[in-house]
Each structure stands twice: as C-alpha cells, then as structure tokens.
Structure 1
Amino acid sequence: MGIVARMLTQEHDGIPGYAAHPDGPGSRPGILMVHHAHGVTADYKIDAYRLATLGYNVLAPSLFNMFGIPGTTQIGHGADLQAKHSDPEFLQKIDEAWRYLTGRMNSDPARTACIGHCMGGRLLIPFAADHPQVRAIVLYYPSIRDEPETSHRPRHAFKLAPTLKCASLVFCGGKDYIATPAIQGPLWQSFIASGSPVEWHFFSDANHGFRHPDNEGFQPHYADLAWPLVTDFLQGLTMKEPTVVRLAQTERVSFGPLSHYQLIIGDDEGSTPVRTGIQTAQPGYEAPLHSHPYVEILHILDGAAEAWIEGREDEPIVLEQGDTLAIPPDTPHSFRVRGDRVLRLLGTHASSRRIVAYKDGAQSDARGYRVVD
C-alpha cells in the first residue's frame, strides 16, 4: 500500500498543514489531528504517516497558519497566540479542517475521529460537543484549568464533557502542571457523566507534554506506551465497516511465465492479521518447493491441482474445485496444475507478512515474493 504524504498550503490546497493518506481512490476512515501550542511539529507528520499506513486519511491543519501567522512551528509563542485568539475562533478553524477532511479528502464522517494534544485536546472537547458525528476523540493531557468562563473561553470542559456523544480516550500525567491531578479528578467525573464510552489512562509520574520531543516534559517511554493504546482504540471504533476489494483493481505479481498472484487482503506494512490472495496458473506450472513459518491454507476455486510435501512426492494429494488443504508451519511443500485447465486457488497465510523459505536457495524480495530472473 503506497502512502501519499505532503505539506499543505493555503494557496495551493485551501488549507495549511500536513496530510497523509493511502494512495488510491475510495472513501476511508479519517483522523483529524489538532496540534498543541507549538504548532504542527515534526512528530505530527510522523504520526500522520503511521496512521495512514493503517488505512486512515489524516489531516493535521496548522491552526496558527490559518490565522495568517507564518512559520511551520510556533514553539514558545503558543500562549501569546491563544491569548490573541478566542476558543470560538479556534473552533471555527477546526470546523474548516473537519470539512476539508470529510470533503476533499473523502473521509467517511461516521468513521472519522480526532486526536488532540495539550491545547488541541482542550479544544476538541467543545468541538466534539458541537459535532456529535465525530466517532471518537483521543486527548493527550488536555490543558484544562480551573478557571471561570469568559468571552474568550466561554464554555468549560467540566460542563461540556457530560454532553459528549462520542467515545473518548484520555491520557493524564501525575506531574502535569496545567491539568493537575486536582483538576483531572472532576474532569474524569465529567466524562463519565456523559454515558458514552471512556478509556482513561493515568501515569503517575508522567509530565505534561510527554508525547512531544520538542517539549521539556518529553518522556519517550510513555510516548511509546501510549501509541498502541491509541491505535487499538481507534481501529476498534473506526475499522468496523466491511472492506471491499475489487480483484480487477489489484496488482498482478508475476510468478514466472505461467502464473501470477493478486493480493486481496494484506499490505506491505503488515497491518492485517492474515494475508489472502488468488494465484492463477496455466497448465504446466509447478511451484518451487518452499515452506512458511506459519499455517498456509490453499482452496481451489477453479481447475485442479496436485500437492505434496517434501519426502512424499510419490503420494500427491489431488485437489479439485472446492477442496481445501491446510499446510502445517515449516513444512516444505509444492503443487502443480493437474490437467489442461487453468488453476485458480485462494491462498491464505496465517501471518501479517508473507515469509517464504525456498529449498533451492532462491531469495525473496522485501514483500516476500520470489525473485524471478
């Protein structure tokens, strides 16, 4: 699966920031990333790319650029910029970004979630309250303070969180100097009061900003600990729609002059638990003797085949249309087309990646396919 990742500008794209998405047409789940007070720093681009490899359209808009403030990042200026622009102004920009993500980037609104850090996490609470179609929000140490409501920040999270309709994942740190543990307690109660699903992680010695390398509070072990929690949470909520693969639109990989293979489930990143593909072979084709460190299942769609394992070549198993053969791990095996009909078989690898060991010593490429001269 190829990934398209690039910077966006107001002049050329209608919105500034960074976007990453799988290559190719079609509607996909989306992720809107709302940045912290430092702007769209490098780690947002890395995370956007990693999320795109999982099948998401990802947009990290530069809210500060949307206000006409130049610069890729605004490290050290975030507090002044938040003092200059009110929450309603920020929320208007986030809404523009949401419409871009679900419009021009063709993300399915029913499967689109948001991730926010610090300032971004705080702003996503009123945004999600105003946009019940948001599937889920992930908040890293949202910068909630015990402060009165004003025209600049007219709606406090304590009042908004009970109204949320989406699922929430929240990370808090015991050493957070903004949203201190004294604030996190009532904030937790506010989220629970919504009746919507809430997953809450409290790291007792985590700092504010533990996710961001440009932040003084950066703690890489907590950043690494949080990431799989985030991806599991998001995939459980946004990847439940059926996946449709059109065989005519898949890549054909040559297995020599008499056969080709088309992967239908799986990708080069190993993001699926199994790999499934269809191999088409002409009469006269014989697969080289090989093995896999996992179970392989062969199902005959059309034609017929003879299969055997190493040492039992004189005991071939005849497989007709509709037959299925399960091959144990680390068992060298082969098959050939039987008769004069074209063979089409569905092969399933019980692995996220294709791993092949050839008995003749031939090499596999980075995708697990035999290198054919």
Structure 2
Amino acid sequence: MSETTPATLPDDFVLTRRGAAAAIAAGYAVLATAVDAEPIITPDTGLTTGMVTMGGGLPGYVARPEGDGSHPAVIVVSEIFGVHEWIKDVCRRLAQAGYVAVAPNFFYRADPENALPTLTEMTEVRKIVATAELDQQMADVKTTVDWLAAQPFAASGRTGITGFCWGGAVVWMAAAMVPGLKAGVAWYGRLTGSDDRPYPLTSVETLKAPVVGLYGGLDRGIPTSDVEKMGAALASAANPVAKASAVNLYGEANHGFLADYRPSYNEAAAKDAWDRMMAHFKANI
C-alpha cells in the first residue's frame, strides 16, 4: 500500500458467514459490514444516477438532480473498499442536497470487475489498493475535475471533494496538488506518512483549497496527537488557505463513524460532522 496514504485498519471490521452473504447481496463492503447494521438508504427519487466513463477510461458513479440546470459538484473518494453501495448512497445524499456527486473508481486498473467490496481477506484488499499510488490518485482526481468541467449539469468552477479513510488522505493531498478544487472535507484520513514522500501534515503550506478534517477520538489508527499536530500546523501556517482550514475531533467516536453500515457508526457525531461538511461546501463551492 502506498506509504503516502495508507489505509487505516481499525477494530470495527467484523465478518461472519451470515454477514458476508448479506453484505454481498446488498452491495456493501463485506469486510466492514456489521451483521446488525441498519444502513441509511437514500432514494434516487428526483435524481439521475448511474455509472459513467471519464477520461482515460476512469469509471465512476454519478448522482445528480435530474432535469436541466447546473449544480455545484463534489468528488467522493471511497474507502479502501472501492465504490460499493455505501459510497453510492453518500453520492445520492449529496445529490438530494443539490450537488452533482461523482465517485471515481480509483482501483479499476487492478480490479476491473470491482470485486473489492466482495473480498473476504484483507491481504487481497491491500494488494489492490497498493496499486493506486499518489501520482495516480492525483491524476484520477484531475481527470474527474476535468470531466465535471465539461458537463452542462455541473456548475463551472464549483467543485469540492470529500473522502473517507483512504479517501480522506486523498482529499488532503488533492487540496494541495490538484487545481480546480474549491473545498475539501476529509473524514478520518491518515495525516502522517513516510519522511521521503508528501503526506497531509507536510502539505499544509501548499493547500490550494480549504479543508475540514473530521476525526474520531477513539480511532486507534489515527492518534489524537496527529490530529492535534495538524490543527496546530493549520493555525500557525503562513498559507491563508491553511488558516481557513480546520480539524474537528469527536472524542467518543471511532474510525468510520459516518459509515452506518459499520459497527463503528456514531449517529450523534455523524450528524454533526455531516452538517459541518455541508456548511463548508455551501460557503466555498
């Protein structure tokens, strides 16, 4: 796995035979689905949804308000499990709020059949995710930005980005490296990494779009000390975009606290953090 944006492997991965079968049938990531989860199901009423192919063959799931008119856009970067049903539901939630939401499949080159959500061995997941190195991640984000810019239903120059776990780290890096993004929201994305590669904590001074980071205080993969370091780095930065960014820590929440298909789902933290994201996008895109 890329040292730049390694996936966090928290304690909330639960798998049983019954749970695996149910997760596959419903389209959720098998390795993270709680047997007794009651995931939110967002209807596609009033939306246009489906798969698209962007530049270079990059596939993605899109949800947007139906009909004529243009809308601000949000790129949705998945967890290590790729574009599964929960990621699609997040896109529909954003679309119901008036955004064009597109979730690129960053792993399609190594996983053309999108088998990631059905895998039951983390070692197999890691092999696929490891193929998406930083340069490719940033290129795929740029491809998505460019594709949105060419769509009549996407408002020109009004694109943000959000992502979860692996995707949360991608958000921080894209906000620093990819032109054309107006705002980012990073959900429990790794902040530190290898000394010889860029990672979020070293990219504060190059942020081009303000980022809101959302973290859980019980997350074993991302220590509270890392979140505090990032907060201090943003506050002390010379870069005005960094000063306009912030990190928020939910002390009683774990990794994956927005993911209502996981046992780590925390309703109170999820609602507050979602509201923070929507306010950030409203103010900036």
Aligned with residue 8 of structure 1, among 43, 52, 68:
52
For 1:109 and 1:119, the matched residues in 2 are separated by: 28
Distance 2:203 2:54 in 1: 32
CA contact (8 A) 2:172 2:211 kept: no
Aligned pair 1:209/2:256, yes or no? Answer: yes
AA aligned to 1:232 is: A
Cα distance in 2 between the residues matched to 1:16 and 1:23: 20
Runs (4 or more) in structure 1 with deviation over 6 Å come to none
Cα contact 1:173–1:206 (8 A) shared by 2 = yes
Matched with 2:218 is 175
Structure possessing the higher relative contact order (Cα contacts under 8 Å, 6 or more residues apart): 2
TM-score for the superposition, normalised by structure 2: 0.73
Looking at structure 2, the residues matched to 225 and 73 of structure 1 have their Cα atoms a distance apart, in angstroms, of 30
Alignment-derived partner of residue 17 in structure 2: none
Equivalent residue number for residue 338 of structure 1:
none
Distance 2:177 2:250 in 1: 29
1:184 aligned onto 2:231: no
Contact 1:174/1:206, CA 8 A, preserved across alignment: yes
Equivalent residue, structure 1, for 2:175: 128
Amino acid at match of 2:72: P
Give the 3 Å change call, closer, same or farther, for CA 130–22 of structure 1 in structure 2.
same
Instruction: Say which SS state the counterpart of residue 115 (structure 1) adopts.
Output: strand
Match of 2:138 in 1: 91
Structure 1 unmatched ranges of 5 or more: 239-373
Contact 1:40–1:72 at 8 Å: present in 2 too?
no
Q: Alpha-carbon deviations, 1:276-326, whole Å to 9, x = none?
A: xxxxxxxxxxxxxxxxxxxxxxxxxxxxxxxxxxxxxxxxxxxxxxxxxxx
- Give the distance between the partners of 2:229 and 2:53, measured in 1 at CA: 40
Q: CA deviation at 1:191?
A: 2.7
Mapping for residues 1-373 of structure 1, pairs under 5 Å: 2-8=46-52, 14-71=57-114, 73-74=116-117, 76=122, 77-104=124-151, 106-149=153-196, 154-192=197-235, 193=237, 194-196=239-241, 197-238=244-285
Match of 2:3 in 1: none
SS in structure 1 of the partner of residue 170 of structure 2: helix
On the 8 A contact 2:187/2:213 being kept in 1, the answer is: yes
| Matched residue SS, 1:213 | coil
SS in 2 for 1:85: coil
Contact 1:144 1:178 in 2 (8 A): no
**Distance of 1:134 and 1:141 partners within structure 2:** 20
Calculate the aligned-residue CA RMSD, in Å: 2.5
The 8 Å contact of residues 109 and 133 in structure 1, kept in 2 or not, is answered as no
Alpha-carbon distance in structure 2 between the residues aligned to 1:91 and 1:69: 19
More displaced 10-residue stretch of structure 1: 125-134 or 214-223 = 214-223
Determine the C-alpha separation between the residues in 2 that align with 1:119 and 1:82: 9
Residue by residue over 1:224-278, the C-alpha shift from the partner in whole angstroms, topping out at 9 and shown as x without a partner, is 232222212211222xxxxxxxxxxxxxxxxxxxxxxxxxxxxxxxxxxxxxxxx
Query: For residue 29 of structure 2, what is the aligned residue in structure 1?
Result: none
Distance 1:84 1:14 in 2: 17
Amino acid at match of 2:268: H
TM-score scaled by length of structure 1: 0.57
Aligned to 1:334: none
Note if contact 1:41-1:72 (Cα within 8 Å) is conserved in structure 2. no
Is the CA contact (8 Å cut-off) linking 1:132 and 1:164 kept in structure 2? no
Between Structure 1 and Structure 2, the one with more strand by share is 1
**Structure 2: which 5+ residue stretches go unaligned?**
1-44
Residue 145 of structure 1: SS of its match in structure 2? coil
What's the secondary structure of 1:111's corresponding residue? strand
1:73 CA drift (Å): 4.0
Retained in 2: the 8 A contact 1:30–1:102?
A: no
Q: Distance in 1 between matches of 2:246 and 2:202?
A: 19
- Sequence identity (%): 23
Letter in 1 for 2:52: L
The whole-number CA distance in structure 2 between the counterparts of 1:178 and 1:104 is 38
- Match for residue 34 of structure 2? none
Give the length in aligned residue pairs: 233
Following the alignment from structure 1 to structure 2, what is the Cα–Cα distance between the partners of residues 32 and 124? 9
Q: Secondary structure at the match of 2:278?
A: helix
Seen in structure 2, the aligned counterparts of structure 1 residues 186 and 199 have a Cα distance that, compared at 3 Å, is closer
Between Structure 1 and Structure 2, whose CA radius of gyration is higher? 1
